[in-house]
Amino acid sequence: DVQLQASGGGLVQAGASLRLACATSGFFFDDYVIGWFRQAPGKEREGVSAISVGDGNTYYADSVKGRFTISSDNAKGAVYLQMDSLKPEDTAVYYCAGRRSSGISMNAKAYDYWGQGTLVTVSS
């Protein structure tokens, strides 16, 4: 079975850092795009960042560009989201998702597999 498991959320103050991890299993990691999405209370789910594992291409939403860094550990089948200079508006439940690679997409409907969310709360 394909599984994705997100972890690493927590409560931090503005300006702090967190690293989220997405552990995957059940599929050939190099063939996939792994994306990070977030959903704040009362808001729609939005794409944050994604990485095409096979070729290393990455994407960042404008709201996180320069603050967040996505990376993958192909040996472990894991993707990480390093979040620096966190802001209160980054508060959300963060999800990782996987899609068979045909290029990076930040359309949630393009992703076939989802992990459970991990809550990130940034206080001001």
Q: What is the mean pLDDT of residues 75-87?
A: 97
Write out pLDDT tens, residues 57-75. 999 999 999 999 999 999 9
Write out pLDDT tens, residues 12-32. 999 999 999 999 999 888 889
Spell out the residues 6+ positions from residue 17 whose beta carbon is closer than 8 angstroms to its own. 82, 83, 84, 85, 86
Q: 10-13 and 118-123: which strand pairing?
A: parallel
Write out pLDDT tens, residues 26-59. 988 888 999 999 999 999 999 999 999 999 999 9
Task: Output the pLDDT for position 101.
Answer: 78
